[in-house]
Amino acid sequence: MRIAIIGTGYVGLVAGTCFADSGNDVTCVDIDERKIRMLQAGEVPIYEPGLEELIKKNVREKRLFFTRDLTEAVTNAQVVFIAVGTPEGESGDADLQYVLAAAEQIGKAMKQYTVVVDKSTVPVGTADKVREAIRKVTDIEFDVVSNPEFLKEGAALDDFLKPDRVVIGVDSERARKVMADLYSPFVRTENPVLFMDTRSAELTKYAANAMLATRISFMNDIAALCEKVGADVDFVRKGLGSDKRIGYPFLFPGVGYGGSCFPKDVKALVATARDYGLELDLLRAVERTNERQKKLLVTKAAKHYGSLEGRKFGVWGLAFKPKTDDMREAPSIEVIEGLIGKGAQVIAHDPVSPHTAKRVFGDRIRYASVPYEALEGVDGLFVVTEWNEFRHPDFERMKTLMKSPVVFDGRNVYDPARMRELGFTYYGIGRR
């Protein structure tokens, strides 16, 4: 099948590469000349395990192409995916200007029946707006489909190639057959393709992310209560997760959720409901809990030291979660800004995202090339992202390097009792 992907961000690049790897001819389009040049040269602008190798393979085998020429890509395509950004608007709603601009360009470029697929995360009713934008500029037959993505950064290739479900919103049998054929290589192990109407598909994406965000904020509230009553959140988490109706995923307390999806999608769902006269009080509380949680480690540090003025701290982990260089809405930003704002110096280490961090902090902090470099002469260590290489460090070496062995563990990576036995002053999240 001939496919065009409009947008080479995280979603577009992963989707285009995986479709190409299943035998389709895929052309990815972006207006960013620098990014297209990078991709054509075999360089990948984002960090995602396995993606660079898969892109190079499909470029080499002439199934995957990159261009700035949208008209050429769409003219020859049977299916066109819109995978452009939907940034957060002033009131929390999704800004659709890039989606609708892409839709208009697609309509002008189409020469045959085309299935136009919304892959961007968009609010309910966007498929109708895309359909209207295309109809204004063409008489050629087309269908608009909603196909939200459910990719986890750091495991996106597996999520796409072996999905637990594929959600497709369609309004015609013709489009349904095209999409069923397109996704057939990825659902051979009986994982379902869930066909539904476009509005239900659009809402499914927001509802799924809002539910996961709710679980995180719920556990962070429970962790706060554990600290008040003298309970241990790890025991509570195990007691909850063993209930099959609940399960263990997303029941880990910490310094809050971040990334490109949960914060934006929760806000967009709240904004959508408000447009229809409904206040989603639970999700507004989820947001408040998350913002409070991002400030928690600095609050603990201020209580421990009294004043942070002139102190020096190490930070392990900058990305919002392991296996990605994405720092959008990352808790590390709130932690580091809080420390700097109270007069402290920061030296930080992350395995893959120092380049991203430099765009956020510039030269206001120092960057360590290895974890232990971030410990030299520090008054304390903040563990913000639970990368594997932070789980079993040389604790004796840490104590030797640190001015004072104090650890603020924002992901409950370490065992509190063992840390104290080793001579550390330890602060976790909801730990006794």
Residue ranges for the known binding site for NAD(+) are 30, 35, 86, 121, 153, 264, 328
Euclidean distance between CA atoms 30 and 188, whole angstroms: 32
Euclidean distance between CA atoms 212 and 229, whole angstroms: 26
Residue entry with tokens 């290895």: 370
Lateral strand order in the sheet of 380-383 = 366-367, 345-349, 312-316, 380-383, 406-409, 425-427
Alpha-carbon dihedral of residues 413, 419, 424, 430, nearest 10 degrees?
A: 50
Euclidean distance between CA atoms 192 and 207, whole angstroms: 18
CA 345 to chain centre: 28
Q: Element (H or E) spanning 308, and its range? A: none
Query: What is the Cβ-side half-sphere exposure of residue 98, based on CA atoms within 13 angstroms?
Result: 19
Across the strands, what pairs with 143? 115
Q: Which amino acid is at 87?
A: P
Across the strands, what pairs with 94? 88
Residues in the annotated binding site for substrate? 150-153, 205, 250-254, 258, 321
Residues in the annotated binding site? 30, 35, 86, 121, 150-153, 205, 250-254, 258, 264, 321, 328
Please confirm, yes or no, whether 261 is among the known catalytic residues: yes
- Catalytic hit among 18, 28, 226, 261: 261
What does each C-alpha distance from 223 to 2, 234, 293 come to in angstroms? 50, 9, 10
Residues with active-site annotation: 261
